Structure 1
């Protein structure tokens, strides 16, 4: 009985913490409602929480992510920005302050588009954070 309750609690906690809400323009709302298709490449840029670190979400959402999205051109299907709220387990530290995600059609086209702008992207980090991000490239299975 306790394990059943724990599983239900964890599922509920994860569902509440997995989704932050940000104000979106009508274009962003249409973009975010696009279906994520199997086979797309997902590039997740995760910013781990740590004491003494800072993150300017307003700059990230209004300047940095749109700049990078612009470099991706027609390869970009959509991008999302998540603001970390809490850990899925009570009394545990926040795992990530933010996660930015790009969904693209081709990994090689993504790499070709980002390559020439890598230094500009890295230089812009100083405008919104002092956190070194973790990047995960994956394929959407479902």
Structure 2
């Protein structure tokens, strides 16, 4: 399992339409990627206004190959929508998911 983190930097000049993101962009992500192997979409919004990121989304896929194939098919459409809700470029990072005992 991999987790793709999409983090939006919290800059001094940040403009971010949370409503658009939650009501339009996140559903777009789900609708385009679910049939392409998306296992989950989790959105984390900062509670500290000084946090390094305003919002971080986590997308789960069974493998890096599944993500790469999905993003190759619909990534341009998803990236084009970013300008509709923010003026910052997100940071993407793919991570292996390692379960540890609590």
Q: TM-score, normalised by structure 1?
A: 0.64
Who is 1:114 aligned against?
A: 71
Which structure: larger Rg?
1
Q: Which runs of 4+ in 1 moved over 4 A?
A: none
- Among 60, 80, 87, the alignment partner of 1:103 is 60
Q: Alignment length, in residue pairs?
A: 98
Who is 1:131 aligned against?
A: 88
Q: In structure 2, how many angstroms separate the alpha carbons of the residues matched to 1:57 and 1:116?
A: 26
Query: Which runs of no fewer than 5 residues in structure 1 stay unpaired?
Result: 1-39, 88-92
Query: Which runs of no fewer than 5 residues in structure 2 stay unpaired?
Result: none
Who is 2:26 aligned against?
A: 65
RMSD of aligned residue pairs (Cα, Å): 1.5
Who is 2:13 aligned against?
A: 52
Query: Retained in 2: the 8 A contact 1:75–1:106?
Result: no
Q: Which has the higher strand share?
A: 2
Which one scores higher on RCO, CA 8 angstroms, separation ≥ 6?
2
Question: Is 2:45 the counterpart of 1:83?
Answer: yes
Q: Which has the higher helix share?
A: 1
Secondary structure of 1:111's counterpart equals helix
